[in-house]
Amino acid sequence: MHPQLTRFLKVRDYLTDDFLGGPKILTLATAINLQKGGTPVFVLALMAIYDVWTPTAWTYFGLHGSYGLIWLLKEGIFPDPGWQKKITIGGAVNAWVSVLGLYWIAPWLIVTQRIEQPPAVLGAVIVLYALGVALMVGADAQKYFVLRVRRGLISDGFFARTRNPNYLGEMMIYASFAIVAGHWLPWAVLAWVWLGLFLPNMLRKDDSMSRYPEWAVYKARTGLLLPRIRAVVSPD
């Protein structure tokens, strides 16, 4: 792994895991689950406070609110081991300030600015969101249950053409939220998350998987994020 990436990951992990020091009494999953599960409550509270009950606001509530509940269901059935690590109180606060809390900017804009999207846009984002959920949940489930049986490289199913279908699915989900908001600010948040969190994680995962003998062949036929489409050659 590139030395600069290694240094960046060390700093980023310190800010999440050990920031300000002290005892590690929370799991990262706790901080994440509070935000995910609190989203439908937060969005409904915004709608009630500002008395905004528009189709766009309800659509956003349905999308982001259901995603929070889906996440909790997923964590209850096949939790991600990476989220179970212990972190400091400062780390939990920093995770909220730098990432988790920023996800609530989109609904705040929709409600406070009374943003309205045409039905065609709302229909399109529902499709994008549904496909993203299928990718993210399906890939996480495959990874969790396969690794319970055997350790090693997962190269089939959701992972047959892309090495990170779960990240791709999550990006589709949050892109649908940003489209509903119709504002540049949620996209700026996503740019930070995707480039500062997702991309380094994907590169670190590549570095870890490179120890497997079949890695070179697998990497050649997959994309880091977007699926690599195999060319179809017609027989002579």
Structure tokens at 36: 């995910």
For 37, phi and psi rounded to 5 degrees?
-70, -25
Size of the chain, expressed as the number of residues it contains: 236
From 13-17, 53-57, 126-130, 179-183, the region with the lowest mean pLDDT = 13-17
Band of residue 233 on the pLDDT scale cut at 50, 70, 90: very low
- Using CB atoms within 10 Å of the CB of residue 78, give its burial: 0 to 12 exposed, 13 to 18 middle, 19+ buried: middle
Query: What is the rounded average pLDDT of the residues 209-215?
Result: 94
Q: What is the pLDDT of residues 66-79, one digit of tens each?
A: 999 999 999 999 99
Q: What is the mean pLDDT of residues 172-194?
A: 97
Question: pLDDT tens-digit profile of 101-147?
Answer: 999 999 999 999 999 999 999 999 999 999 999 999 999 999 999 99
Nearest of 182, 178, 177, 154 to residue 166 by alpha carbon: 154
Amino acid at residue number 222: T
In angstroms, the CA 83 to CA 73 distance is: 15
CA distance 22 to 207: 31
Contact 61, 126 (CB under 8 A): no
Give me the residue spans of the domains in the chain. Answer: 3-220
pLDDT tens for 18-40 read 988 989 999 999 999 999 999 99
> Above pLDDT 90, what percent of the chain?
85
Looking at the chain, the whole-number percentage of residues with pLDDT higher than 70 is 97
In this structure, the strands spanning 26-27 and 86-87 are antiparallel
**What's the CA gap between 167 and 162, in Å, rounded?**
10
